[in-house]
A and B are shown apart, each in its own frame.
Chain A
């Protein structure tokens, strides 16, 4: 396998974005990431994005986004209707093929235009589940309740995750959450989808993110401390919630095992947890120890531009390596109801 690293990361500043459309949000982010990479636009070998037509409200969300890239002369390009973390996976595969040495990856989501929790219902089994109209918050609450009942954890544990995440987000200029909260603040909120409270659910966010990947000498020449991808794996669970043990994130555990998360200490983990209990499930699934700094950015509970949220986890984790704050980090992305599909990315400061 070739050594491939995240060499640049950029994201939108969430609070400022609501008045822009998705391409307007994306354009400066792509520009920023490419500039940070030190590569010229014409030196990017491959481009891949992740977005969702239903968030945009029309077909071909990714077509307009090409205007943010400036695809002329014509470029090697592809798109996944998935969180952009999977676009990064596809780009990593193309670099592994050896045909290209670098790639631009981006994702964007404008969730303020719809009722997000209801909209996500449309990704469920259209014959048996959609007619019951269980929204995303309700399904998450089902999993949260199952998890609390099975583990003996309490609503206070969920509130602690929310308080820590939101306090971290308040210090992150790119997050939409701007106020720190305490555990008691969270517990005093009304329950929105029992047992989940408002602060335990991700906020509505418009935003975008972009990452530049580079291989071997290209990475070394443009980046002082590349975040080398030492492992990248992704898996899916069954869609049938009744057939799953909702108290475990089984496919996340398979991906973490395959990626060798447990083969060394993890300084920082950025976990794609859109609900407080998901962080607890994911800590279990990835086998993270107590000394790992989880979601220092505030995570998805601080900003959740759907389709970019997972890619931001990779970018935020990589940034800790770029800055010299961490030497081994883990990023996680998810999509589908109740953590159905999961991606795990391990990055390190030293090349393999």
Chain B
């Protein structure tokens, strides 16, 4: 690898169920302008734009980057559009970082968004596709049986999912950009939350959000200069994909996730993620995915993830805080949810996370996954240049 890549600007929108005050262009522009302001740069300083989002049917606009070229300041410049399902926010950042690391561009703007209120994601995920047997399950219906399988395997008690939801929603109270702010949520009220896809209750499910996230990535020259916050340096990035289904595939603890984690840890010199990392933003759209990914990502042995959650290890004041921003459970503009994970850890190592800043973060993991737990993208960012 030639160039080192840094995050020098981060921006995001206030995530809401319906951003009726802005168009799709207005939404991405809002995040991009905040990232540029954070980087103390202007549109002219950007060499290329990389945009990502989940399926186009989530808004009903085919290849929307074509229409967004103007709002993204891409006219006359190279523009790429990434789509890798739920992992796309992370993959988009990896593609953008690649342009810097390969020495092709000095400063790249990367943006991810979803404006779920424009269409209906549940419909888009269940529409019968020609030549395929329709699943008609939506995301929750798809993942609930895998969660059941995890509970069966690990012997985890039933309330672990609720603990994750309580923790992430409490963290969201520290994050002004988060979609859900519910200071009255308690374990008792969470237990009364309606059952959506057994064992997942309403409160254990991510919301449908309109939102966008943007980052300015730069090489060593582009990162030079004085800004309000120092850069976050990319110490490693990795992606892995595997097929949706075949006999013998472990969908609860997928190999693509384990391989991806091993790759990114090797690049970043991480041998014991729980000890070596200071916090993590991990794609947890349904509560139980915290203990499941704790195991998949090697933060503990298989079968023990739920114990870390129960003991509070992943809480804001735990030894390895997970999702101090409130995570996907508190804001879910789908295509942007992965980039928000990547961006939030950049904020943490820059000391720029505001009220949800975890003390002394030097090295942190951002994670995203998508499809049938089959697409993974991860990066490790650090305060020091590697």
Say whether A170 faces chain B, with CB atoms less than 8 Å apart.
no
**Does A236 lie within 8 Å of B82, measured CB to CB?**
no
- The one of A53, A74, A82, A233 that contacts B81, using a Cβ cutoff of 8 Å: A82
In-complex Cβ contact of B241 among A21, A75, A81, A86 (8 A): A75
Interchain nearest-CB distance for A54 vs B (Å) = 4
Interface residues contributed by chain B, number (CB under 8 Å)? 67
Of A117-125, A147-155, A221-229, the stretch lying at the interface with chain B is A117-125
Q: Contact partner of B79 among A60, A73, A123, A341, CB < 8 A?
A: A341
Query: Which of chain A's residues has its CB closest to B259's CB?
Result: A74
Q: Is B301 an interface residue (CB 8 A)?
A: no
Instruction: Flag if B99 contacts A93 (CB, 8 Å).
Output: yes
Stretch of A95-103, A185-193, A277-285 with 4 or more beta carbons under 8 angstroms from chain B? A95-103
**A206 at interface, CB cutoff 8 A:** no
* Pair A90/B95 contact, Cβ less than 8 Å: yes
A135 to chain B, nearest CB (A): 13
Which residues between 81 and 120 of chain B lie within 8 Å of chain A, taking CB atoms? 81-85, 91, 94-95, 98-99, 101-104, 118
Number of interface residues of A (CB under 8 A): 65
Residue of A97, A240, A254 near B2 (CB, 8 A) is: A97
Nearest to B239 among chain A residues (CB) is A76
Of B64, B75, B240, the residue contacting A75 (CB under 8 A) is B240
- Nearest CB on A from B140, distance (A): 16
A236 CA to B80 CA, complexed, in Å:
10
Q: Which residues of B contact A336 (CB under 8 A)?
A: 63, 66
Main secondary structure of the interface of A (DSSP, over half): mixed
A251–B259 CB distance below 8 A: no
A309 at the interface (CB under 8 A from B): no
Residues of B contacting A81 with CB < 8 Å?
Answer: 56, 63, 65, 81-83
The interface bits of chain A over 79-91 (1 if a CB of B lies within 8 angstroms of the residue's CB, else 0) are 1111000100110
Q: Is B124 an interface residue (CB 8 A)?
A: yes
Chain B CB within 8 A of A183 CB: no
Pull 18 A–B residue pairs with CB atoms less than 8 Å apart, ordered by A: A59-B58, A71-B243, A73-B259, A76-B239, A76-B241, A78-B94, A79-B82, A82-B81, A90-B80, A98-B1, A119-B62, A123-B62, A123-B67, A125-B67, A234-B78, A235-B77, A335-B66, A337-B66
Contacts A53-B55, A235-B77, A340-B66 known; list 14 others, CB within 8 Å. A52-B63, A60-B55, A64-B132, A71-B242, A71-B243, A74-B241, A76-B241, A78-B84, A78-B94, A98-B1, A126-B24, A126-B67, A235-B76, A237-B76
